[in-house]
Structure 1
Amino acid sequence: MTHEQNLLFAAFAVQMSLVPAPKALEATAAWAVDPGTPLPDRLIAMEVLTEAGRATITQLLRAAEAEFEGNTAAALQAVVEDPHAFGRYFHRVALSEEGDPDAMSTLAGATATHGHPGLLAILHETPGRYKGESEYARGGMGRVLLVHDAHLGRDIAMKELLPNVSRSGETASLGNASPVRLSVPLINRFLQEARITGQLEHPSIVPVYELGNRRDGQLYYTMKLVRGETLHRAIHQAKRTEDRLALLPHFVDLCQAIAYAHSRGVLHRDIKPANVMVGEFGETVVLDWGLAKGRGQNDVHQEGFADAMRALNAGGDTALADTEYGQIVGTPAYMPPEQARGELDKV
């Protein structure tokens, strides 16, 4: 390793909270006296860095060098001066075919994602393609933008990941929290949501158009813009019996969509009227597959769901609402009984 590579490795190790800053300084000082032993070897010998952490930092280092065509000194300067540089490199590794999902999950303190279907090759946003962005909705994991696709001349919806979001929903500064420890679980959830939704091809399931990386390093995926109102709103506006009966075809369409998803081994786990759109021309579209689970795939929501269900059973709706996932799943009235009881392995 070159002088700059050793320093860049140390910078990433500290930024990722894999190595305490004092230990990194200690190892760097020893390396400066005796550069014959690379910094990664010293950190491992000091038992402050694992081989999995070393492998992932090495991937980040390569991503940083690639941006500057092998100029490690320029990459090091960018990491020091640009607060967004680290996030860009991390997202590239997370989305690359070479990215090790087990190592990424280890960094977040999560269970290794054995049997993971693999991370997608990165697709960069085409400059100037998406115009007229306006925020439509915002949640705990990301926000939905209304954008105009200039290439195809149509309005679409874009969901954008907000990586540095804490449980309280406030953006965390890089100075008081590790961006990776906040980002890794969100990246896993976001990628799973985009992947599962995109694999379900049904008239009543919102189609995904594109998954990629924005110019500022944030992940996004685009999908059909469904104009209309939620089934929840339509039900509350239907005051007469005949008005409510007129909504039954939408319920049948919903059942067909869920049956199709089940045939593909996918459970939505958050079916409720607020997640179903009734279009202006009679279409029914199931939205928000963010909590979905695929058969045989690692459940990236397992821990969050378990915490929420324990809170529900211990303290009711109020305690549930205070948890991260309680704010997402909302009222238990629409949950499968097994899920509400915390028997997640049976869902």
Structure 2
Amino acid sequence: MQDRDLIVGVLAAQAGFATPSQVLTAAAAGLVDSAPDSLLTRLERTGTLSVERRKILEALVEQALAARKGDTRAVLESLGATPEVLQTLASGVASPPTDGQPPTAATDIPLERPGQYTRLQELGRGSQSIVRAARDEIVGREVALKELAALVVPAEDDSSRAARARFLREVRLVAGLDHPGIVAILELARREDGTLFCAQKLIRGATLQARLLRCRSPGERLALLRHVLDACQAMGFAHSKHVIHRDLKPSNVMVGEHGETVVVDWGLAKHREEPEEVVPLIASSPEPGLTVAGVAIGTPAYMSPEQARGDLAAIDARSDVFSLGAILYQVLTGRPPFEGATSDQILEKVRAGDFHPVRALAPGAPPELAAIAERALQHRPPDRYRDAEELARELSAYLTGGRVRAYRYGSWELLRKFVAANRALSAV
């Protein structure tokens, strides 16, 4: 099998467009044909791929190849394709089943108890899920219900099954992160019609994005710095559990009525040990703030260069650090570091590392905070903070009057810090 066909096979399986057995069957058919067609053509001819899905898959392949300058082996490596998987695809022979447990089927999820939830207003929706406020009549409290969109529920094609598997993965991943700054999962269940949903703690308040939009001065934005620190500490905990979010942005940070900060929407999150997954592409989104799924994972204005390149194997905790740095940048300047009319324009700037220094846009921004943001936004992952906990320590040092390692102090600045610290000690 040609390298391009190997990429097609891996992406088709990861996107849920074809099962591994369907890919293997099509691959095996190509081995016996005297003039074999491409794997794409064979998958379409057998009815595995619709015309529309073939176009999407072709776009995924082209985007992956462009991100790796046509190096097919580098693309396969970035997709997490192991030598064993590649050998299996190339030979058209299925590997024996493993001893691992298969994913839990949707029918294994307990049914919603009759009359338990009274669904109220819609709070938000994405491409495959809807979040609604609801009242739990059994315990007498309001919760948030996140459920799969109706178009996913009745379908039994591979894409819908993949969407349900991703939903279950998200719920179980977040349920394992017990931290006050991470949205709490209360229950996983399904409705009579098969709709999967999870009950989450309802956070009354507004997103950090909404709070930023209401600010009328740099001082009002700086008052939100504590919430950026809280988000960094929550992500520091997630990173300590080897979980990365991959879609951090102000609209995914909730600021509660009582001042609490909660990181939400973990739909693109993954554990470090999980195999990489590619979900169907949303190409050239006219709305730059929307999440772009596919080879580029995340939200363009806040994603790291490695995410923008589609280098999935390189995405780690430092990619989340970059996104947190972009949030801090917006707090300091009033705008995200990368802007453009379309997602493609923004992605190009992200890949080039093309952003203005903080104090070029906001001369009055504290220089120490500017240094923290710009270190988090470094183009090369090794030049950033190691993880969100290290970034949180820098922000905490600034807020408590300590020394910020990313900032180069002058002699007078160090003297003023020394005097201020000694005055504080004398007052104790």
TM-score past 0.5 threshold = yes
| Alignment pair present for 1:289 and 2:266 | yes
| Per-residue CA distance 1:263-321 (angstroms, 9 max, x = gap) | 1111100000011011111000101000001111133x4254xx56xx5xxxx665989
Residue 317 to residue 144, structure 1, CA distance change in 2 (3 Å): closer
For 1:225 and 1:284, locate their aligned partners in 2 and report how far apart those are by CA, in whole Å: 13
322 and 148 in structure 1: CA distance in 2 versus 1, 3 angstrom threshold: closer
How far apart in 1 are the matches of 2:264 and 2:109?
25
How far, CA to CA, are the matches of 1:289 and 1:261 in structure 2?
Answer: 11
2:128 corresponds, among 141, 159, 167, to: 141
Q: 1:136 to 1:342 in 2, by over 3 A?
A: same
Change in CA separation of 1:136 and 1:151 when aligned onto 2, cut-off 3 Å: same
In structure 2, the residue matched to 1:160 is: 147
Equivalent residue pairs, number: 220
Alignment partners' CA distance in 2, 1:334 and 1:113: 38
Counterpart of 2:269 in structure 1: which amino acid?
Answer: A
Equivalent pair of 2:128/2:163 in contact (CA under 8 Å): yes
1:325 and 2:293 matched:
yes
User: SS in structure 1 opposite 2:135?
Assistant: strand
- Residue number in structure 1 paired with 2:313: 345
Asked if residue 219 in structure 1 is aligned to residue 196 in structure 2, the reply is yes
8 Å CA contact 1:143–1:162 kept in 2: the answer is yes
**Aligned in 2, Cα 1:115/1:242: closer, same or farther, shift over 3 Å?**
farther
The residue number in structure 2 matching 1:119 is 104
Amino acid across the alignment from 2:278: Q
DSSP-derived class of the 1:339 partner: helix
Alignment of 1:189-204 (within 5 A): 189-204=166-181
Q: Please give the TM-score of this superposition, normalised by the length of structure 2.
A: 0.46
> Residue 207 of structure 2 corresponds to which residue in structure 1?
230
Partner deviation per Cα, 1:8-53 (whole Å, 9 max, x = no partner):
xxxxxxxxx99xxxxxxxxxxxxxxxxxxxxxxxxxxxxx9xxxxx
After superposition, the Cα gap between the structure-2 partners of 1:233 and 1:122, relative to the gap in structure 1 and judged at 3 Å, is same
In structure 1, what residue type is equivalent to 2:223? Answer: A
> Partner of 2:254 in structure 1?
277
> How far off its partner does 1:164 sit?
3.0
Larger deviation: 136-145 or 149-158?
Answer: 136-145
CA contact (8 A) 2:207 2:253 kept: yes
Q: Which residue of 1 aligns with 2:28?
A: none
Q: 2:229 aligns with which of 237, 252, 255?
A: 252
User: 1:145–1:329: structure 2 CA closer, same or farther, 3 Å change rule?
Assistant: farther
CA separation in 1, counterparts of 2:229 and 2:117? 35
Equivalent residue number for residue 302 of structure 2: 334
Quote the Cα distance in structure 2 between the aligned partners of 1:197 and 1:213: 18
Q: Structure 1 321/248 Cα, relative in aligned 2: closer, same or farther at 3 Å?
A: closer
What is the CA–CA distance in structure 2 between the aligned matches of 1:288 and 1:275, rounded to whole Å? 6
C-alpha contact 2:288 2:301 (8 A) present in aligned 1? no
Q: What code does the residue aligned with 1:213 have?
A: R
For the 8 Å contact 1:163–1:182, the answer to whether it is kept is no
Map of 2:89 onto structure 1: none
> Relative to 1, partners in 2 of residues 1:237 and 1:115: Cα closer, same or farther, differing over 3 Å?
farther
Which amino acid is the alignment partner of residue 295 of structure 1? R
State the 1:156 CA deviation: 0.3
1:143–1:159 contact (8 Å) kept in structure 2: yes
Contact 2:170–2:269 (8 Å) recurs in 1:
yes
Change (3 A) 1:331 1:217: closer
Give unpaired runs (5+ residues) of structure 2: 1-17, 20-45, 47-96, 316-428
Deviation at 1:132, TM superposition (A): 4.0
Change beyond 3 A, Cα 1:325–1:114: farther
Q: Distance in 1 between matches of 2:265 and 2:299?
A: 16
Aligned position for 2:278:
302
Whether the aligned pair in 2 keeps the contact of 1:115 and 1:297 (CA below 8 Å) is: no
**Structure 1 Cα separation of the partners of residues 99 and 186 of structure 2:** 27
CA distance in 2 between counterparts of 1:207 and 1:114 reads 32
Cα 1:264/1:113, change in 2 over 3 Å? farther
Kindly provide the CA deviation profile for residues 233-291 of structure 1, in whole angstroms up to 9, marking residues without a partner as x. 11121112321121010000010011111111111000000110111110001010000
Equivalent pair of 1:278/1:285 in contact (CA under 8 Å): yes
Which entry has the higher C-alpha Rg, 1 or 2?
2
CA deviation map 1:164-185 (0-9, x unaligned): 34xxxxx9xx7xxx63334211
Q: What letter matches 1:131 in structure 2?
A: T
> SS at the partner of 2:122?
strand
Seen in structure 2, the aligned counterparts of structure 1 residues 323 and 142 have a Cα distance that, compared at 3 Å, is closer
| 1:116-158 superposed Cα distances (whole Å, 9 cap, x missing partner) | 7842742111101111433222221111111100111100000
Code of the aligned partner of 1:125: E
SS at match of 1:179: coil
- 1:136 aligned counterpart, secondary structure: strand
